Amino acid sequence: MNNLNLYILLITMMLWGYGCASHPPVLAKEPRKGETDMGFSFSAENVIPVIWFRRGLNRSTDIGLRIGLPLSGSGIDVNRILFRNGSRKWDALNLAYNVSPNSSFDLTYYKFKKAKKAKRGEMPSVSWIGFRGMFIPYGISKNQSQRFGILYGRRFGKRYGFELGYNHDFRSMPLSQIVNLNWDPKDPDVVDKYGTSFQNYKHEYQGFPSEYSRLTGLSFQIFMYMDKNTKKKK
């Protein structure tokens, strides 16, 4: 029994530690008052899927709730449409709190665009880009991180969608070096070119990505939308 408890604890720690950061799945349509949408998101940030719910408060505002196991991936957010441009384009602002080893606050400005045509019986696809500010007040190594980035997403019909983005902490390393797998701030050539300031922002903490890591800034999600929309009866 003691061994079983130890295994459960180790698995829980692995699941918790793997999730570097998390972000909310957006509702790729205009909200409706009293309508609830739900689905699952599979992401690089979490080992297991996260279930999410979104509830329309009115035609411009909806709130979201995410539940992850054991906790990583959980969060809450509010989404507000700011501008509409005809029937196919709209801009929205999203404020979110995300639970993970590097729990964060997100402020994201989205620009949505709906396709002109769709197959009969299908929902038109929707694409979006977003500009995100991300603040980690107390990361895994007990430090703060401020990040800025961009993302792109697309919903294909009723069932599936994806989102890919990256948020960079400009203090942790030069943006031009994010794809350099051999980046070492202590390398003599790096010190000669950039100085020693980047050595203060370690990308790992006890074997896990820290709040300064490139992995913490990377976001990739696949969404599965469930056909469980319900609307409050008048």
Report the chain's mean pLDDT, rounded to a whole number: 86
For residue 226, what pLDDT is reported?
Answer: 86
> In the prediction, which pLDDT does 64 show?
96
Taking CA 122 as the corner, what is the angle to CA 116 and CA 124, rounded to the nearest 5 degrees?
A: 25
As a three-state string, the secondary structure of 65-127 is: EEECCCCCCCEEEEEEEEEEECCCEEEEEEEEEECCCCCEEEEEEEEEEECCCCCCCCCCCEE
* % of the chain beyond a pLDDT of 70: 85
pLDDT digits (tens, 9 = 90+) for 140-171: 999 999 999 999 999 988 889 999 999 999 99
**3: Cβ contacts below 8 Å, ≥ 6 apart:** none
Model pLDDT, residue 124: 84
Element containing residue 156 per DSSP (H, E): strand 145-156
Q: What is the pLDDT of residues 20-76, one digit of tens each?
A: 567 888 888 899 999 999 999 988 767 678 999 999 999 999 999 999 876 678 999
Per-residue pLDDT, 227: 65
Residues 65, 63: Cα–Cα separation, whole Å: 7
Dihedral sign of CA atoms 178, 179, 185, 188 in order: negative
C-alpha torsion sign, points 96, 98, 102, 108: negative
Q: What is the dihedral of CA 211, 15, 63, 59, to 10 degrees?
A: 100
Arithmetic mean of pLDDT, 124-138:
95
Instruction: Tell me what pLDDT residue 17 has.
Output: 42
Return the DSSP state at 138: S
**What one-character-per-residue DSSP string does 13-55 give?**
HHHHHH-----PPP-SS---TTEEEEEEEEETT-SS-EEEEEE
List, in order, residues 6 or more apart from 153 with CB less than 8 Å away.
Answer: 26, 28, 127, 128, 129, 130, 161, 162, 163, 164
pTM, full prediction: 0.85
